[in-house]
Every structure is written in C-alpha cells, then in structure tokens.
Amino acid sequence: LVVWDFTSRCNLKCKHCYANAGKAAPDELTTEQAKEVVDQLDKAGVVAVALSGGEPTLREDFLEIASYIHRKGMYVSVASNGTLITKEFAKKMKEAGIDYIEISLDHTNPKIHDEFRGVKGAWNRTVEGIRHGVEAGITTCIATTVTKYNYDNVPEMVKLARKLKVHRFIAFNFVPTRRGRNIADADITPEQREKLLNFLYDKLLENNGLEVFSTCPAYARISLERE
C-alpha cells in the first residue's frame, strides 16, 4: 500500500493539518509525470494506492489519474474532506474505479467542525459528500482526528456514522506537526486514549454493520486483552 500526497492544494484551513496544505507546490507533478509515478508503483508490485493531500479532488486530473491507477489493477482509495463531492462527482468517482473513500469529519456540531476546519459551511458540504459517496456505492468511511476539542463527542460521531450508513468509522491519532504544532496541547491524555480505544472496541463488537477502528497501534493490544 502506498499513500500518495497527491497535491498540497486544499480548500480548507484545518487547525490540525499535518501538511500545512493550502496552495499548490511549485514542483507539483504534471498529469504525465503522475502517470509515470503510477507506472513505477505498478512495476514495483504495489497493490493499493491511497490518494491524499491536501485535498486530492482539487486536481483537475484527479479522476483521470484515479482511473489510470484502477486500469493498472491496483485498489484505489481517497482521503478527502468531502466538501467537493457532489452527487454527480461521486458517480464519476465510482465510474473511475475508486473503491474506497475516507472523509474527515471532526464533530457532530456544525459550528465546532467549521471553526476547526477554518471555513464556514464546511460541515454541511462534508456530510453531503459522505451521503453522496454512500449513495454512489463507494465504500465510505468517516475519519475523525480525536483531540480534546471532540473527545467527548466521539460516541455521537459513531451514532452519526450509523445514521449516514457509512461502512467504517476510524478514530485518528492527532499528529502535532506542521500546522498542527500550533495546537500541540490539544492531544488527549494517555488515560483518555485508553478509555477511547476500549469504547471503540465495544462498538466494533456490536457487529451491526459498522466497522470501528483506530490508527492507534495500541488498538491491537486492546483487542488481544479483550479476547
């Protein structure tokens, strides 16, 4: 699996952004150069490519490159903020061969999410993007970076994930780098993380169609201890 930061462009200004995304980098790859990278990945035996960023859907050739990866026989996934995924665009993503989309949502309260993401109205557009992904038949995931700003809201986020009928909910560790360094004190405590991981595992065991995971390596330990 290769996670490819496909672009540094982004239409949001998230406080916790590990890439300090915003404008396109001066050395961003052209479409042909991007296809050459795909060829190299294919030759190396890569079986799955995750397009990330920045916001990967901002690239004009996003669907073209995704389709090219798919035609090479590799699994195609996308990490997105979801704000640009209209109903029509979601259909095009499905047609391009995109198998999985992971959409970031930080809170069930639109005001708190928008404040954290730096753009008013982002919550509504993101939730619509999630709905469109599900409706298009793409395996859709809600990804929440857990900080002290939304730690108490995680149970409600899981409920929202079920309501939106997504396939997966993932709690991401906060990584205080780049822009995220400005809010390094927003990380949760070890005690809170332990409680969170046990809660997530409880929800996973409910086995009601929603996969519940975490990027925290200790989640594997929790699963072993709880067997």
Per-residue pLDDT of 52-98, as tens digits, reads: 988 999 999 999 999 999 999 999 999 999 999 999 999 999 999 99
Percent of the chain with pLDDT strictly greater than 70: 94
- Give residue 83's pLDDT: 95
Q: One-letter amino acid identity for 184?
A: A
Mean pLDDT across the stretch 95-112? 96
Total-model pTM: 0.93
> Could you tell me the CA-to-CA distances from 96 to 106, 137, 162, 174 in Å, in that order?
28, 13, 27, 31
- Give residue 124's pLDDT: 97
Mean pLDDT across the stretch 14-18? 70
pLDDT at 217 over 70: yes
pLDDT at 6 over 90: no
Mean pLDDT across the stretch 118-124? 93
